[in-house]
A and B are shown apart, each in its own frame.
Chain A
Amino acid sequence: MTLLIGSLTMGLILALLAFGVLISFRILAFRDLTADGSLTLGGSVAAALLVSGWNPWAATFVAVLSGALAGATTGVLAMKCKINGLLAGILVMTALYSVNLRVMGKSNVPLMESRTILSSAEQLADASTHWRIWIGLWPGQFGYEDVFLPLALDHDMSVIGLVLLMIAAVGVGMVAFFRTNLGLAMRATGDNPDMIRALGVDVDWMTTLGLAIANGLTAFAGALLVQYQGFADVQMGIGMVVLGFASVIIGETLVGSRIVGFLICGAVMGSVLFRLLVAIALRWGLNPNDLKLVTAVFVLAALVTPDLWKAARKQLSPAR
């Protein structure tokens, strides 16, 4: 049960990363590798601020902004300095490694007793119980309370509830954004830059904005991850792009549609499903050290299978 809830929560938190990858890889068609660095950046900024006693919401907000700044840097390098997009991402990611060490001052920062967004969720749950008791509904009064109250009070459940709420809010926000004039222009930028340029959109700026949003979301994932697991580590971002990409691919397969709303739901489902699969695999004795290899092979398989499939069908279909 705790394993299940644990991987659910992780899956939901990493759905933010999947959102970021979805925006850069799928919507902007920009192969952005910044995420490995910007996830850690979000985590280290959040950790540094929390340890120094910042309000957790403010700390998380600043973490998101820092990620957006990293994404914008990649955007400017790629679009204005005309550096290959992959390379621009790698450059920023590499630079961020040092930045992250600077921000944290060391390679690992435990949060200790610092207040976090997630611990405030617990307080919220507590408060609601107090409130219910205060207005005269006490545990056991209606029978079902005996079943639900332990859950409501449970730390894990309140955390997952809050994370779910945040993911839902971000998801709805994204769906809404991509229906606005600005968001639609961003989708067109990825789909056909020549066309949207001829319609008056500054493709460089639009791509940079998109990368800022994508990496802001990725940093958000990093900030939540740190608050969930109770520490930040300079290595925490390694392989995150591939992980996010795996979630996006699983999601696309699950929903089978390119409509943005579906893709976003798919990314959440993909992220959660991937976490569950990982948990099960670990249970069955997968060596955690092999996890990234397995993930990479999985993504590779997902990328080449459709082509192999097509080729195979061509081979099998009778020659005309």
Chain B
Amino acid sequence: MLELNQLTKTFHPGTPNEVRALRGVNLTIEDGSFVVVIGTNGSGKSTLLNAVAGSFFVDTGSIRLRGEDVTRWPEHRRAKFIGRVFQNPFTGTAPHLSIAENLALAAKRGRARGCGWALNSSLSSDLRERVRQMGLGMEDRLSNAIGSLSGGQRQSLTLLMAGLIKPDLLLLDEHTAALDPKSADQVIRLTDDMIRRDKLTTMMVTHSMHQAAYLGDRLIMMVRGQVIHDFRGTEKQRLTPEALLARFEEVRRLEQLDEAAAEQLRRQYV
């Protein structure tokens, strides 16, 4: 279970560039729930995920994971509980290491790393099996440098790595946004399969209204550093991409965003 209590974060406080990226976010995510996060550009979605992962400390508020207060934990310590896939396919893998070595690193996520061999034969065959199950035909190329793969392949492997040891929380930040449509579909299918199979507690940011409507069992919408809508259960099941777009329009009226921002919204989502 993840509990966020009154999170705030301001970048460059006290300067002309001041950005209040999070303005009091309250959110509780139960174990096994798959939460889709949508919102306008700059509404603080990535900031929220980064705050949870520990990329920086929040200014105020608290973050509890599995009942533990992790608010002041550095990122590498939280990694014991958290699996992540980033928007950029290059962020999640070490390009000059082989596929097998990248996976071996992920097999030790959050654990002590000592002087045992990183790739013993039992781990190697385990990893090969996991890669085979993905069905992308990469199991015979495990010794190739991961940098030689396509973005979609790398993102699929990053996803596998994030779930290799079952994480208490999976964070996906627009992890298909940089991919071509075909790879994006593939990665989304793998994502959904993995989350269902392992009943992973997940937060997934997306810009695709299609993904937002048809994936997950809960949806939150962020505007200006706050969660303004929270759909769950049957309400979430009934959502359609069109209904979500209508919500964005409503947000526009309520928040009286200027016309330019609305135009940007339309370009992006329609």
Q: Interface residues, chain A, CB within 8 Å of chain B?
A: 177, 179-185, 187-188, 191-192, 194-203, 258
Tell me if B115 and A181 are in contact (CB < 8 A). yes
Tell me if B109 and A199 are in contact (CB < 8 A). yes
Contact of A198 among B75, B97, B115, B118 (CB under 8 A): B75
The contact sample of 27 A-B pairs, CB cut-off 8 A, is A177-B115, A180-B114, A181-B104, A181-B115, A181-B116, A181-B117, A182-B113, A184-B113, A187-B96, A187-B97, A187-B101, A191-B97, A192-B90, A192-B94, A194-B91, A195-B91, A195-B93, A196-B105, A197-B79, A198-B53, A199-B105, A199-B109, A200-B76, A200-B77, A200-B110, A202-B76, A258-B145
In the assembled complex, the Cα of A199 lies from the Cα of B114 at a distance in Å of: 15
In the assembled complex, the Cα of A180 lies from the Cα of B116 at a distance in Å of: 5
What is the CB-to-nearest-CB distance from A172 to chain B, in angstroms, rounded to a whole number? 15
Q: Is B108 interfacial (CB 8 A cutoff)?
A: yes
In the assembled complex, the Cα of A179 lies from the Cα of B96 at a distance in Å of: 14
Interface size on B, residues (CB 8 A): 36
Tell me if B105 and A198 are in contact (CB < 8 A). no
Closest A residue to B111 by CB, please name it: A200
In the assembled complex, the Cα of A202 lies from the Cα of B86 at a distance in Å of: 19
Tell me if A184 and B79 are in contact (CB < 8 A). no
Tell me if A258 and B96 are in contact (CB < 8 A). yes
A contact residues around B91 at 8 Å (CB):
192, 194-195
In the assembled complex, the Cα of A195 lies from the Cα of B101 at a distance in Å of: 13
Please report whether the interface of chain A is mostly helix, strand, loop or mixed according to DSSP.
helix
B contact residues around A197 at 8 Å (CB):
75-76, 79
B contact residues around A183 at 8 Å (CB):
118
Tell me if A198 and B113 are in contact (CB < 8 A). no
A contact residues around B75 at 8 Å (CB):
197-198
A contact residues around B95 at 8 Å (CB):
191-192
In the assembled complex, the Cα of A180 lies from the Cα of B105 at a distance in Å of: 10
A contact residues around B97 at 8 Å (CB):
184, 187-188, 191
A contact residues around B118 at 8 Å (CB):
179-181, 183-184
Q: Contacts A180-B115, A185-B105; is A200 near B79 (CB within 8 Å)?
A: yes
Tell me if B108 and A199 are in contact (CB < 8 A). yes
Q: Contacts A180-B116, A184-B118; is A200 near B94 (CB within 8 Å)?
A: no
In the assembled complex, the Cα of A223 lies from the Cα of B122 at a distance in Å of: 42
In the assembled complex, the Cα of A296 lies from the Cα of B161 at a distance in Å of: 43
Contact of A187 among B76, B94, B145 (CB under 8 A): B94
Tell me if B94 and A188 are in contact (CB < 8 A). yes
In the assembled complex, the Cα of A207 lies from the Cα of B154 at a distance in Å of: 25
What is the CB-to-nearest-CB distance from B85 to chain A, in angstroms, rounded to a whole number? 9
B contact residues around A192 at 8 Å (CB):
90-91, 93-95
What is the CB-to-nearest-CB distance from A253 to chain B, in angstroms, rounded to a whole number? 18
What is the CB-to-nearest-CB distance from B163 to chain A, in angstroms, rounded to a whole number? 13
B24-36 to A contact mask, C-beta < 8 Å, 1/0: 0000000000000
Q: Is B106 interfacial (CB 8 A cutoff)?
A: yes
A contact residues around B76 at 8 Å (CB):
197, 200-203
In the assembled complex, the Cα of A198 lies from the Cα of B54 at a distance in Å of: 9
In the assembled complex, the Cα of A191 lies from the Cα of B93 at a distance in Å of: 9
Tell me if B114 and A181 are in contact (CB < 8 A). yes
B73-107 to A contact mask, C-beta < 8 Å, 1/0: 01111011010101000111111110001101110
In the assembled complex, the Cα of A180 lies from the Cα of B84 at a distance in Å of: 24
In the assembled complex, the Cα of A197 lies from the Cα of B82 at a distance in Å of: 11
Q: Is B119 interfacial (CB 8 A cutoff)?
A: yes
Tell me if B115 and A200 are in contact (CB < 8 A). no
In the assembled complex, the Cα of A182 lies from the Cα of B115 at a distance in Å of: 6
Closest 3 CB pairs of A and B: A200-B79, A200-B110, A191-B94
What is the CB-to-nearest-CB distance from A22 to chain B, in angstroms, rounded to a whole number? 14
B contact residues around A202 at 8 Å (CB):
74, 76
In the assembled complex, the Cα of A184 lies from the Cα of B105 at a distance in Å of: 7
In the assembled complex, the Cα of A52 lies from the Cα of B173 at a distance in Å of: 62
B contact residues around A182 at 8 Å (CB):
113-115
Tell me if B108 and A195 are in contact (CB < 8 A). no
Q: Contacts A197-B79, A200-B76; is A184 near B104 (CB within 8 Å)?
A: yes
